[in-house]
Chain A
Amino acid sequence: MMPPYQRTERRKSMAERRPSVSYTPPVIPHLAGLEKPQELSLKLEECDVLIMGTGLVESILAASLSWQGVQVLHIDNKNYYGDSSSTLTIEQLKKWCMEVNQGRMQHFQDAQIYVPGGKTTNKFKSKDYGIDLTPKIMFCKSDLLSLLIKSRVYKYLEFQSLSNFHVFENDDFSQKITTQTSKEDIFTDKSLSLITKRNLMKFLKFILTDNKEPQKKKVLQESSKSRISDFLVSQFSLEKPQINELVYSIGLCINEDTKTPEALAKIKRFLSSFDVYGNFPVMVSKYGGPGEISQGFCRSAAVAGTVYKLNTALVDYDPKSKIAKFNDGSHVKINEKIVVSPSQIPKFLQSSYNEITAPLKQYSITRLITVVRRDCKEWMSEQESSAIVVFPPHSLPTNNDQSVQVIIQNGGTGVCPEGQSIWFSHTSEQDLNRAKQDLESAYGKMETSLLRESTSDLDEAFDDHDFVLSAQGTPVFINSFKLGESLSNFVPKEKLEIVCKLGYVQKTYVNPDLSNIFHAKPENNVVLKNLEDAKNDIIFSNMPSAELSYDGIIGEAKLIYQKITGTDEDFFDVDFEDEDEEDNEYNEAHKVASTTTMKSVGSSGGIVGGGPNSNTNLHALSSDNENVIEDDSDDDHNPFGADEMEL
C-alpha cells in the first residue's frame, strides 16, 4: 500500500522503486501558466426538451422531466445559475446592474447600485455576500417544501426558522404574534381590551374551522366579494391594529382591496404552518433563497441525466428540421419542446414574444436591497437570523397604497458576514416614483427604529455631562429623565453604515395575487399561449412574481410540465429509494444535535394554529395537499388557492 504523500516525507519515485528499470519520465505538456481548459461545444446530437434559463421554476421543471426519463438540455445565457431568481455577489450585482441599464436584462429596468466609500473606508469581500434578486420565505406547510423532501433536494440545503413578523403602525413597530405567542398570550396582552380579545379569539376559531363546515361555508360565500378589512370589522368587530396584524403581517396581503377568501387563505397559511417543525411558521434557506434552491434542483436534474451548460444561448431554431443552433457553434435536434425564460429570449423570438404578451397585463415590482453593518438582532428571535417587517397600506408618511414587505437576514444565514444584515424590501406599487418613495421611506423608518432600539447607540446618545461616577466607580445618570418617554423621540444624528444599496424594477405578467397561476388560461398566462409560427414548439415561462413566499412556484412548474407532457399526474411521481438505514443511523448519531435545535425554537403547548393537524408530518401532508389540489374544481374563484391551504 502506498502511504499518503505529505510534505514531510518523500515518497520514492518510480525509478527508485524499480532500480532495475531505466525510467525516463514521459513527455507531458508544459503546464505552467495554463488557464482554464477550453470550454467544449455541446457534443449532443439531440434532446427531448431544451430549457433556457436556470431560474427556480425552470430548474424544478428540468428535474421533474428528467426523473420521468425525458432527455433535457438545460442552458443559461449567464455564467451563473438562477437566472432572474439568482443569488449574486456584490461584484456580480455591479455587472448585473450595468447590463440591466444597457437593456441586456429583459424585464428588469432602472437598476442602481451604490457602494459608498472607497476601498479603504468600505472594506468588504464580494464573495461573502449572497444577494437574492427575488428573495422569498418558505411556509412550513407548503407544496414546495413537500417537494423538496420528496425529491431529496432538501439534502443539499439548510433551513433556519423565522418567527418574528413585525408590523409598522403609529410610527412604531409592534409585534403581537411571535414564536412565544400562545393563545393565552394573546389573551393576556394587557394592551388589548377584553372585548377585543374575545373577538380575536372568535376569529381565530373561525379561521381554523374546516371550510366545509356549513356555517363557515355560508359566511365565506356571502363574503367572497367583500374586502377583508370590511369583513373583519362587520363579522368580528376587530380594530385596526388587529386587522393590520392579521391581514398585512401574518397574512402578507399587499393592499386594502384584498378580498376575504384570499386573505383568509393567507392568514390560515401562516397559522397552519405553526408547529410542523417547531413553534415557527416560516423557514429560510441558508446562503440564499430561490437562487440556492434552483441550484439544488439543477443538481437533482443532473443526477437524473440533464445536460448543463451555462454561458450558452440559442441563436436560431428551425421548426421544420427541429434543429437548434447555439452561440458555441453547436447544433442540437430538439425532439419535443423548447422552454424559454423571459430573460433569455433570443433575438429571433423577440417579436413573437412581444406579440403574444401584448394583451397581458404587466405588473411592476420595485425592490430596494440594502446591506448594513448591523446584525439587527433587535428584531430577531433568539437563536434566529431572519425577521419580517411589514409596512401596511397608509402606514408610511408617503401614504403608501401598497404594503412594503421586508425580509431581514443577518450573517447567521450565510448571506453576508457576521455583524451585518441585508434588508430586502419590495412593493407592488405600480407608480414607479411612488414605489421608490415608499421603499425609501420604509428604509428610513427602519433605520431610525434600529438606531433608537440598539443599546450601543444609547451610549452615544449621552455625553460625559450626563454621567457622574458613583462611589463604587460605576457611572450613574444625572438626567435620568432622558431614559423614559423622551427617548422614544430620540432621533439619532448618526446614520447606519451601508455596505451596498441596490434598487431595481422588475416586470412580470404574474398577478401579485397569483390568480393567473392558480387559474391559468391562455388569456391570462403566457405559458398557455401558442406560438403558431414555431409550430407550438416554443413555450415561454414567467418572470418571478411579487409573492413573498414560494407559493405558486410549483403551480407554474406543473403548468409548463403539463403543456409538454400532456398531464401533470406523473409530476415527480418517482419512487426515490429510501435510505432508511442510513437515515436512522444518521438520526441516532445526531439526536443530541437535533433536539438541541428544536429546543431552541420550541416552547410548550398552546400554540396559535395548533389544530388537529399540528403533528402532521410532511410526508402525510404532501399527499393531503395533492388531493386537495385535484379537488380544485368545485370552487369559483380563489385567487390565492384557498383550497390548497385547506389542510
Chain B
Amino acid sequence: MSFPNPATSVKLVLLGEAAVGKSSLVLRFVSNDFQENKEPTIGAAFLTQKCTIGERTIKYEIWDTAGQERFASLAPMYYRNAQAAIVVYDITKPASFIKARHWVKELHEQASKDITIALVGNKYDLVEDDNEEDGLRKVSVEEGKGLAEEEGLLFFETSAKTSYNVNDVFIGIGSKIPETNAGNGAAPADQTGGEGRIDLTSNSVAANRAGECAC
C-alpha cells in the first residue's frame, strides 16, 4: 500500500522578449493537460499546473512577466526563490535570441545559484517545413544549443501552436530539479523548516486547531 506523494511546489519564471510566445507556451502547457481552452483566471497571481514525473508530482507556480519586462523593469520579487526559469526566444527573430542571452545573464545575477534554466526556441511550427534557403528560421539549432551548452541550460525547440515539445520542457525541468530543493516555494536556506511562515490561505485559527487535534 502506498500513498501518493504530496505535490511539491516549484516556482517557475518566464523570461523573454515580448511576443516570443511566453504566455502561449504556458497556456498550452496548462490547458493541454488539464482543461481545454482554459482562460487565465482573473487576477491570478500565477498559473498553476501539476506535472507527474515518475513517482513525483510537481506543482508548477508559473509566473508570467505581466509585461513588466518590456522596459527591463522586473522587480527582485520576480526572481526570488525561483527554482526554475524558462528563457524563450523566437527562432524566426534573431533579436529575440540576443535578448535571451541577456535574460540568462540576468538570471545568473539575480536568481539563486541552483536555479534550473531551460532555453526554449519557440515557433517551431513556422520552420517545420523550412526547406528553402530563405526560410523563416533565423536562429539555428546549433546557435541555441551552443548557448545552452555554454551556460549549462536545458535546450528545446517548441511550438506552442502545435504543442510540439511543450510538455517535454516542463518534464525536463521537473526531472532536473533536485527533490530536496523542491519545497513550498521557499528558498534553499529555508528548508530547515520554513520557520514561522504563516499560511494565509487558511481561513481561521480554529480550523487549524481542529486539524491539529484530529492528529
Q: Which residues does A use to contact B, with CB under 8 Å?
A: 1-7, 11, 13-14, 21, 24-26, 28-29, 31, 34, 36-37, 39-40, 42, 67, 81, 148-149, 151-156, 158-161, 275-278, 283, 286-287, 292, 295-296, 298-300, 302-305, 307-310, 312, 383-385, 412, 414, 418, 574-577, 579, 582-583, 585-602, 614-619
Residue of A nearest to B183 (CB): A593
Residue of B nearest to A160 (CB): B196
- Report the bound CA distance from A156 to B66 in whole Å: 14
17 A-B pairs (CB sep. < 8 Å): A4-B118, A4-B156, A28-B143, A31-B101, A37-B99, A39-B71, A149-B200, A277-B205, A299-B77, A302-B68, A308-B68, A385-B196, A587-B202, A589-B59, A592-B6, A597-B196, A615-B205
Q: Are B98 and A31 in contact (CB under 8 A)?
A: yes
Q: A7 contacts which chain B residues (CB < 8 A)?
A: 149, 152
Distance in Å from the Cβ of B95 to the closest Cβ of chain A? 8
- Report the bound CA distance from A304 to B44 in whole Å: 10
Q: Which of B6, B99, B152, B154 contacts A4 (CB 8 A)?
A: B154
Interface string of B42-76 (1 = CB under 8 A from A): 11111010000000000100000011101111011
Say if the beta carbon of B133 comes within 8 Å of chain A.
Answer: yes
Q: A81 contacts which chain B residues (CB < 8 A)?
A: 73, 75-76
- Report the bound CA distance from A178 to B194 in whole Å: 22
Say if the beta carbon of B138 comes within 8 Å of chain A.
Answer: yes
- Report the bound CA distance from A308 to B70 in whole Å: 8
Residue among B77, B141, B149 with max Cβ neighbours from chain A (10 Å): B77
Q: Are B168 and A2 in contact (CB under 8 A)?
A: yes
Q: A310 contacts which chain B residues (CB < 8 A)?
A: 71-73
Q: A81-B75, A615-B204 in contact; A302/B66 too (CB < 8 A)? A: yes
Distance in Å from the Cβ of A635 to the closest Cβ of chain B? 29
- Report the bound CA distance from A275 to B205 in whole Å: 7
Q: B172 contacts which chain A residues (CB < 8 A)?
A: 4
Residue of B nearest to A296 (CB): B77
The 10 lowest CB-CB distance pairs between A and B, nearest first, are A4-B172, A5-B155, A155-B45, A302-B66, A160-B196, A576-B43, A594-B199, A295-B75, A617-B203, A589-B6
Interface string of B188-203 (1 = CB under 8 A from A): 0100011111111111
- Report the bound CA distance from A574 to B209 in whole Å: 31
Residue among B76, B196, B212 with max Cβ neighbours from chain A (10 Å): B196
Say if the beta carbon of B139 comes within 8 Å of chain A.
Answer: yes
Residue of B nearest to A154 (CB): B200
Q: Are B196 and A302 in contact (CB under 8 A)?
A: no
Interface string of B25-40 (1 = CB under 8 A from A): 0000000000000000
Residue of A nearest to B187 (CB): A414
Q: Are B165 and A21 in contact (CB under 8 A)?
A: no
- Chain B residues 166-215 with CB under 8 Å of chain A are 168-169, 172, 176, 184, 186-187, 189, 193-206, 208-209, 211-212, 215
Residue of B nearest to A306 (CB): B67
- Report the bound CA distance from A239 to B193 in whole Å: 42
Interface string of B95-122 (1 = CB under 8 A from A): 0011101100000000000000010000
Q: Which residues does B use to contact A, with CB under 8 Å?
A: 6-7, 41-46, 48, 59, 66-68, 70-73, 75-78, 80, 94, 97-99, 101-102, 118, 131, 133, 135, 137-143, 145, 148-149, 152, 154-157, 165, 168-169, 172, 176, 184, 186-187, 189, 193-206, 208-209, 211-212, 215
Q: A2-B168, A37-B99, A277-B200 in contact; A152/B205 too (CB < 8 A)? A: no
Q: A302-B67, A418-B189 in contact; A587/B143 too (CB < 8 A)? A: no
Distance in Å from the Cβ of B56 to the closest Cβ of chain A? 13
Distance in Å from the Cβ of B16 to the closest Cβ of chain A? 12
Q: Are A29 and B42 in contact (CB under 8 A)?
A: no
Distance in Å from the Cβ of A71 to the closest Cβ of chain B? 13
Residue among A67, A159, A286, A292 with max Cβ neighbours from chain B (10 Å): A286
Q: Are B199 and A597 in contact (CB under 8 A)?
A: yes
Q: A3 contacts which chain B residues (CB < 8 A)?
A: 168
Q: B155 contacts which chain A residues (CB < 8 A)?
A: 4-5, 11
Chain B interface SS verdict (over half): loop
Distance in Å from the Cβ of B153 to the closest Cβ of chain A? 9
Q: Are A2 and B198 in contact (CB under 8 A)?
A: no
Q: Are A29 and B98 in contact (CB under 8 A)?
A: yes
- Report the bound CA distance from A72 to B4 in whole Å: 46
Q: A11-B155, A591-B211 in contact; A156/B77 too (CB < 8 A)? A: yes
Q: Are B71 and A152 in contact (CB under 8 A)?
A: no
- Report the bound CA distance from A599 to B205 in whole Å: 11
- Report the bound CA distance from A313 to B4 in whole Å: 54
Distance in Å from the Cβ of A292 to the closest Cβ of chain B? 7
Q: B165 contacts which chain A residues (CB < 8 A)?
A: 1-2
- Report the bound CA distance from A309 to B42 in whole Å: 24
Distance in Å from the Cβ of B23 to the closest Cβ of chain A? 12
Q: A307-B70, A617-B203 in contact; A28/B184 too (CB < 8 A)? A: no
- Report the bound CA distance from A594 to B15 in whole Å: 31
Q: Are B43 and A577 in contact (CB under 8 A)?
A: yes
Q: Which of B43, B157, B168, B196 contacts A67 (CB 8 A)?
A: B43
Q: A14-B140, A149-B200, A590-B199 in contact; A5/B145 too (CB < 8 A)? A: yes
Q: B152 contacts which chain A residues (CB < 8 A)?
A: 7
Q: Are A37 and B98 in contact (CB under 8 A)?
A: yes
Q: Are A295 and B197 in contact (CB under 8 A)?
A: no
Q: A593 contacts which chain B residues (CB < 8 A)?
A: 184, 194, 199
Residue of A nearest to B213 (CB): A595
Q: Are B77 and A295 in contact (CB under 8 A)?
A: yes
Q: Are B71 and A308 in contact (CB under 8 A)?
A: yes
Q: Are B202 and A2 in contact (CB under 8 A)?
A: no
- Report the bound CA distance from A175 to B38 in whole Å: 54
Residue of A nearest to B186 (CB): A158
Residue of B nearest to A153 (CB): B45
Q: Are B195 and A307 in contact (CB under 8 A)?
A: no
Q: B145 contacts which chain A residues (CB < 8 A)?
A: 5, 11, 13
Q: Which of A6, A13, A28, A287 contacts B80 (CB 8 A)?
A: A287
- Report the bound CA distance from A588 to B193 in whole Å: 18
Q: A589 contacts which chain B residues (CB < 8 A)?
A: 6-7, 59
Residue among B71, B138, B215 with max Cβ neighbours from chain A (10 Å): B71
Distance in Å from the Cβ of A232 to the closest Cβ of chain B? 30
Q: A1 contacts which chain B residues (CB < 8 A)?
A: 165, 168
Distance in Å from the Cβ of A495 to the closest Cβ of chain B? 28
Q: Which of B45, B168, B195, B208 contacts A383 (CB 8 A)?
A: B195
Residue of B nearest to A4 (CB): B172
Q: A37-B102, A602-B209 in contact; A24/B149 too (CB < 8 A)? A: no
Q: Which of A158, A299, A602 contacts B205 (CB 8 A)?
A: A602
Residue among B45, B99, B143, B156 with max Cβ neighbours from chain A (10 Å): B45
- Report the bound CA distance from A600 to B195 in whole Å: 8
Q: A31-B98, A616-B204 in contact; A308/B73 too (CB < 8 A)? A: yes
- Report the bound CA distance from A568 to B193 in whole Å: 42
Distance in Å from the Cβ of B69 to the closest Cβ of chain A? 9
Distance in Å from the Cβ of A383 to the closest Cβ of chain B? 5
Residue of B nearest to A17 (CB): B141
User: Known pairs A2-B157, A160-B198, A303-B43. 13 more at Cβ < 8 A?
Assistant: A2-B156, A14-B141, A28-B138, A37-B98, A159-B198, A300-B45, A383-B195, A385-B195, A418-B189, A576-B43, A596-B193, A598-B205, A618-B203
Q: A37 contacts which chain B residues (CB < 8 A)?
A: 72, 98-99, 102
